[in-house]
Structures are given as C-alpha cells and as structure tokens.
Chain A
Amino acid sequence: MIITILYYLLVAFVVFLMGWNLLKSKKWQEEVLYVIVLLPFLLRLLRLK
C-alpha cells in the first residue's frame, strides 16, 4: 500500500514537471509531444487506467 502511494506521488510529480515544461515550451512540436507523453501519466494519476 505504501509503495503504491509512493508511486502515485512519483507520477504526480512527473505530471507536474511535464505540465510546467508544456506551459514554458515555445515550440509546437514539443508541446504536442508533451501532451502525448502526459496522456498515460494523467490517466494513471486519475486512476482512469
């Protein structure tokens, strides 16, 4: 249980970092890539998959 929580925290941290980078990015290809990469992390964080 503790390890599961730690993993959720880790995923949340990664989502935060990716979101931050996405907002700071000025290149459209990079932005699209961030959105795609965020997809699985967000779905896992929201427990949708």
Chain B
Amino acid sequence: MKKAILFLLILTLLLPAGALAQDMPHAGAEVVTNFMQSGTYDVGAEQLEAGFEEATGIELEIVASPFVVLVQNNITDLATGTGEFDVISGDFWIGSVWGQMHPLDDFIERDMWGGSFIEGLTKQGPSAYFDGKRIGIPYSADAYGLIYRTDIFEEAGISADWETWDDFIAVLGELEMHLEGTDIAPNVFAFGASEQAAAIFLGMYDSYLVDADGNYALDHDEAIASLNQLKSLLDYNPEGATGLSIDEANSVFLTGKAATMICWVSFVRAAAQDPDASLVVDNWATATFPGPGFPFLSAWNLFISGYSENPEAAWEWIKYYITEDEAKRRFVELGVGSPFLSTYEDPELIEQYSHDFPAMVANLNRAETVPWIFAAFEVFFRHMSEFIIGAATAEETLEATLTDWAELEVPEGLVQSAMAQGQMQEG
C-alpha cells in the first residue's frame, strides 16, 4: 500500500515536470545575444527579456555595445571561434565572417516560420545568405531617403515625382528660383558626416561594385559622372554645408531652412512631427529616392553563431524577437523601421503616417546593401570626402580609391551578395 502511495506521489510530481519539459524544451539553456547600443534595438530586446525567460525557461543575456565595438566584437568572436555570442546582430559589415554562421533554413522550414516581410527585404542582400543558405533574418529596415517641404512645393507648383537624380537636380533649380531672396536652401545634406555621402553616390551610380574577378571595383565613367553629380548638390545647399553633421543638417530642415533633405528618414521622423522640435510639423513628406542607383539599406539581421552551443535555444529567441506585433510596437514606441509590410498596412498607422509610408515602402523595396567591408568603405568615403572639400579631383579620387581597394579581398559572402543584387560586373 505504502509503495503504491509513493508511486502515485512520484507520478504526480513528475507529470507537471514532464509537461513543463514539453512546453519548455530548452529550459535551463543560456543564450547570449548582442545588439547595437542605440536605445532602440537593445531597449526593444530588454523589454522582451523577462517575458521570453518566463515563456521558454531560457536564460537570456543581452549585450549592448556601440556600433563600432559591436562590429569588432562580432568579427573577432567569429573569426577566432570564441563563441561568446549565440545570437549575433549584424549586417553586411560582418560579411567577412558570414561563413561562420549557422544556417537557418531547417529551423524556418520545420517551424513554418515567416511573416509578411517586405518583398525586397527577403532577398539575398537585405537578408543574409551564405552558399545559398539563409543565415540571417532582418529585424529592422531603414532606407536612405529624401524628405521635402510639402508647403513650399505646393506654393511653387512643383511636384515631387522625380525618378532620377537629373530630375531631382532640375527640381532643385526650380526651387532655387522660387526661394530666391529667402534664407531657405533648396536642399540640405550632412556633407560634414563624410561617411554619409556614399549613400548619395550609390543612388546616382548605376553599375558594378565588384568586378568579374571578385575584386572591389567601380565603372570608371559611371563613377566619375556620379562623383561630379554628387558634388553639384553643394550648389543647392546652405553655405558651409561641407561641415554639417547629421544633427546639424536635420536642424536646418527642422527649423524650416531647407526645402528638401537627403537623410536617414528614421533619424528625423519623430522630431519633424514634434511641435517642440520642429517648425515643419505636418508640412513635410517622404519622397521616392531618385535613381538610377538604389537607396542604401540598413537592415539589421539576427544570426546564430556557428559556435553556439545552443542553436535551438538561440532560434527560440530569434522567433520571439522578430514578430510582426513586436516590429510594429518597436516602430511605434522606439522608431525602429519595421521589415514587415503589415506595419505599413496597419490602418491606424497609415492615418498617422500617410505623408511617410508610401514612399518609404517603395524605397525599402528598391533598397540594397553593399558588398563593402569596413576597410573598403573607409577608403571610399575618405577619398570621396577629399573630393567634396575640393582637395582632390574626381579622377584622383577614383584612382586613389581603386589603388587602396586593390589591397583588399572581398569576402565570399559579400561576393555572393553582390552577385544576387546585380552589383557584380558581367563576364
């Protein structure tokens, strides 16, 4: 009798534990995930931490670092096989270590996981792939954009329907005439933040970034034309534009001193609609980013490190963090661009962001990443900065860039990304 009671008692104790093990198959596992310390992505993760731990029994550690440190940590962690992080936050900047990432296809297929991602963002480039396998999933999306003053355009009888940079520059000419005698510049851009000008170049440039042999390259004539066109924008910018930082350029627009601004729209969206910070509330809209190039895309992906001891638990975290509801919440509360179409089709949000959403989605659909590692980007933007301040000609800039690029190797993952995005020389 005693034995039977004892058996029943043990059974009673074990049943919930068994059920728990079924509900929480990874309970007790530890996952270390990293994010950029921006007060957005990292805060979004911290807000989910307790709920995730409770729902899965997985112990989550969030490591937030400034951008440069994050990239350094990710590259050294993966290149040396240290395995400090299970879930890695990154994009093409860490393309040199994409080969060390855990493929995600099996997880996605098994769990039939997905969502209403913006079509362009699911392609190779915005989403990270290596050797044909998906290794990263975007959790944010921001495309370089162009915003304009609706009141000024209306007053001048100009429509913001440009397709190319030639069209846009022609509009700037019209604006210049219309704004003559005022202290409003037709355009403003943060030329002083030298790394930013590459985004305009990429919008103007319509050719390869990697040659047929897999080396960093640029088409000579296209590059020269784009550099010169980029510099011509200075004619329509306020005096001293070559020294403007991002915040300073934003301030020029927000104080009503520019009719258009080329920028990361996410950096200025909230402030532009805040009456305490902006003189252009309800008088601005996002426009299509001109071509024939592409809007430069910032799409943070979550990867699972190939050195993770808990890839299953790491995948649980990715599924928990990247959901349509969470993306919408992060967009509304933290200003993080959502990779999901459902955010931009939300009736409530459409009403609030009617001046912003249509062009933003169009830009995101066309947006591309670049196959540049840090060293390649550094070389490019520094030489371009010399050109912008008048210390070098377009020819010298291109020659110096190509000379420095000749020393660099394009990582395999980024060659594949360039090929998939049509950025590779044919032949």
Question: Are chains A and B native binding partners rather than an unrelated pairing?
Answer: no
A residues in contact (CB < 8 Å) with B: none
B residues in contact (CB < 8 Å) with A: none
